[in-house]
Structure 1
Amino acid sequence: MRLNEIVFNDAKPVEGYGPGFFRIGGEVIHGPLIVGPEGIRAWNGLEDLEPLLALRGQIDVLFVGTGADIDHLPETLTGPLDAVGIGVEAMASPAACRTYNVLLSEGRRIALALLPV
């Protein structure tokens, strides 16, 4: 079997996470956050829709990490995102980080919204 190193180009993968924080591109960030084409920014959680809608036209899919466990997303979040053409996938934050990294390495048009574990 041949193993290849993953190349992320200019994008920043999620390197780690723990109680209340994420490590992305060598930087430790506390609290909820969004990782997208324009970088990393703080996020106020599932009710904070505007920064997610601002990703319109830049991404095809948004992965939402709901914390330590998977949880359903409210229609007030998924409905407006679907309406502007952004697909939404909810999963536990650790799974969202892994999925984001794999698809990021493939050059996909994705973003990540995370609640801490």
Structure 2
Amino acid sequence: MPRGIEIRDAHFPGRAPIDAYGNGGFRFADMSHRGSLLCLPSGIHGWNYPEGGALTVEALSMVLDEADGIEVLLVGTGPEIRPLPQALKAALKARGISSDPMSTGAAVRTYNVMLSESRAVAAALIAV
């Protein structure tokens, strides 16, 4: 019996620079993804982040789950810089992760540089 289309969570099992961003998505590793991304030590994951949603501890739970491999979290907050809520900053700091909010474009550029330097970096990138 045919199963039809199987929808799986978007996941690229490796670390790769972001080649392009805009139009609601990103390009990396000869692929494209529509929507937001979490770039973690375990790979690049589609991030079901609602447009205009709150940056909460729950929204970034995957980052906190992989804290051992992350020293710096770059948060691309969209076209404008948005401060991170105190509860989120505290949860990240408690796991030894420094956080840096910036526009998504700046976060992509900084992530690529830090990745090329083999730094323990992760990024939460809100699509623009």
- 7, 27, 33: which is aligned to 1:29? 33
Structure of greater Rg: 2
User: Do residues 20 (structure 1) and 31 (structure 2) align?
Assistant: no
2:106 corresponding residue in structure 1: 95
2:86 corresponding residue in structure 1: 75
1:102-113 to 2 correspondences below 5 Å: 102-113=113-124
**Could you list the per-position Cα deviations for residues 16-72 of structure 1 after superposition, in whole angstroms to 9, with x for gaps in the alignment?**
011210112121111111011111112233231311101211110000000011111
TM-score under structure 2 length normalisation: 0.79
2:127 corresponding residue in structure 1: 116
Tell me, in whole angstroms, the C-alpha distance in 2 between the residues paired with 1:98 and 1:49.
Answer: 21
Tell me, in whole angstroms, the C-alpha distance in 2 between the residues paired with 1:50 and 1:71.
Answer: 19
TM-score under structure 1 length normalisation: 0.86
> Aligned AA for 2:70?
I
> Aligned AA for 1:37?
P
User: Do residues 40 (structure 1) and 44 (structure 2) align?
Assistant: yes
Tell me, in whole angstroms, the C-alpha distance in 1 between the residues paired with 2:119 and 2:106.
Answer: 17
Tell me, in whole angstroms, the C-alpha distance in 1 between the residues paired with 2:64 and 2:27.
Answer: 24
RMSD of aligned Cα (Å): 1.3
Q: What secondary structure sits across from 1:57 in the alignment?
A: helix
% same residue: 44
Q: What secondary structure sits across from 1:77 in the alignment?
A: helix
Q: What secondary structure sits across from 2:114 in the alignment?
A: helix
> Aligned AA for 1:114?
L
Q: Which has the higher contact order (CA 8 A, sep 6+)?
A: 1
Unpaired stretches in structure 2, ≥5 consecutive residues: 1-13, 50-54
